[in-house]
A = this chain, B = another copy of it.
Amino acid sequence: MTNKKAYKGNVIYSKDKDTLIVYDNSYVIVQDGRIVDILKDLQPDFPNENVINYEGKLIIPGFCDMHVHAPQFLQMGIGMDKELLDWLDTYTYPNEAKFKNIEHANEVYSQFVNELLRHGTLHVNCFPSIHYEASSILFKLLENKGVYAFTGKLNMDQNSPDFYIEDTNKSIEDTEKFIIEHKKSKNVTASIVPRFAITCSEELLNGLGNVSLKYNAPVHSHMCEAVNEMKICKELFPNYKNGAEIFNQNNLLGKTPTIMAHCIFMDDDVLELMKNPNCMAVHCPDATSNVNAGGIMPVKKLLDLGINLAIGSDVGGGTSLSIPRMIATTIQHSKIRNMFDNQYEAVNLQEAFFMATRSGGRYFNKVGAFDKGYHFNALIIDDFNMYGDNYSSLERLERFCYSGDDRNIIKRYIDGNEIEIKI
C-alpha cells in the first residue's frame, strides 16, 4: 500500500518570471504533504482510492499576500479618496486601537484568517497592531490553520495619536518577548514590524535592529511609498541619505529576510540596496496610497534588475483580499503607467503570477510552486460559471485572475491537507 496521493487535473505553476509550466490532464503525486512528481500517466498499481479526481479543473499553487494589514480588514473600501496621512488619522489609527480589546481581536482576526483562505491566500506576511495579546492571537490563528506566515507585533513610538502609541523601551522589550515566545511554530515565524520611519524614533529602530539580528527575525515595513511620506522622513531623519538608509543603518534592511511594501520611489542607491537577496519589495497595485499619492511601482524595471518582488493586497489601503485580482490589477496598472511613461514595458501574466506565487513565497520553505520537494499548498479552480469553452489552461488561468473570484476556488490544500473554511 502506498501512502501517496495523486491529484488529477490541469496543473499550472511558475518556473521563473518568464515561464508558466502547464501539465494538462496530469497527476500531482504527493507524499507526506510534499510533491514527489507530476505524471501524465499513473503506474498501473497506483491504488484508485488514493486518486483525487479534479479532471477538467485547474490545480495551481496557493497565493502569497506579502503585505496585508490584518486589523485594517475592518475598514476595507472606506475613505478611498483620502491622502495617506489623513487616511491614517481618520480611519486607521482609531480602528487599530480597538485591538486592545482581546475579544474584538479574536473575532476580527478569526474572520480575517478565514477570508484570507477563502481567497486562496495560503502564505501571508501580516501587519498587526501594536497590541501584544492581539498579535499573539493572530499568530496562533494562522498557526492553527497551517498558514505559512510572518507576523509580529507592530512598533510605533512617535508621531502617533495619544490613544495609539508605545513607550520606546517597552516596545523593544515586548518585541523581543514576542519573538522568544512564538519562535517554535511550524509554519509561522515571528517578525519585526516597525510601522514606517515616521512613527518610529531612531532609538526604537536601533533597538529593533538589534533584536532582529539576535534572533535572525524577518523584518516587515513600508518604504518609499508616497511623496509626502518621503518628505516628512527626510525632515525627521536629516542625517540619513534616504528612507532605505534609515532601515539599513539600523540593521533592518537585508541582514535578515526583509519585506518592504510599496517601494515606488527608489533612486539608484536604494535600488542597489534592494538587490540584496535578503530583500523583497512588495507591489500593492490597489493600495490607496499608491493610487492616490502619485505612484505606481515600475515593476518591470525592478524585475529586470533582479530585485525580489511580490504582490500584496495592502488591505485596508487596498480594497480586496483577492491576490488573483491583484495580479490582473498589476498588469492593468502597469499598462496605464506605460501609456504615459513608456521607458518600461508593461507586466505580463507570467510575471505577475510569478510574483504572486513562487517569488512571493521565497522566504517561506518551498511553497508557491510545484517543484519536487515543494509543499503541496494548492488551490483547485473550477471555472464552471465562466461560459466559454475550448480555452487552453493558460487562457483559463488568465480568465480566473481577471474575471473570477473566491467562488471559483473549490478546494484549498496546505501540506497536502484540505483546509476547511467557513462559507
Contact = CB atoms under 8 A, between A and B. Distances in A.
A399 B348 CA distance: 29
A33 interface: no
A402 interface: yes
A336 interface: yes
Contacts of A387: 73-74, 108, 111
A78 B388 contact: yes
State the copy count for this chain: 2
A349 B404 CA distance: 25
Interface string A328-367: 1001110111011100000011000000000000000000
B319 A77 contact: no
Interface residues of A, number: 45
Contacts of A292: 335
A395 interface: yes
A88 interface: no
Interface in A270-308: 286, 291-292, 294-296
Contacts of A320: 402-403
A79 interface: yes
Contacts of A39: none
Contact of A349 (B81, B108, B339, B349): B81
A22 to B, nearest CB: 16
B296 A336 contact: yes
Given A339-B294, A340-B340, A404 B77 contact: yes
B399 A76 contact: yes
Contacts of A108: 387
A80 interface: yes
Contact of A77 (B76, B286, B295, B386): B386
Interface of A: 73-81, 95, 108, 111, 286, 291-292, 294-296, 319-320, 328, 331-333, 335-337, 339-341, 348-349, 386-388, 391, 395, 398-405
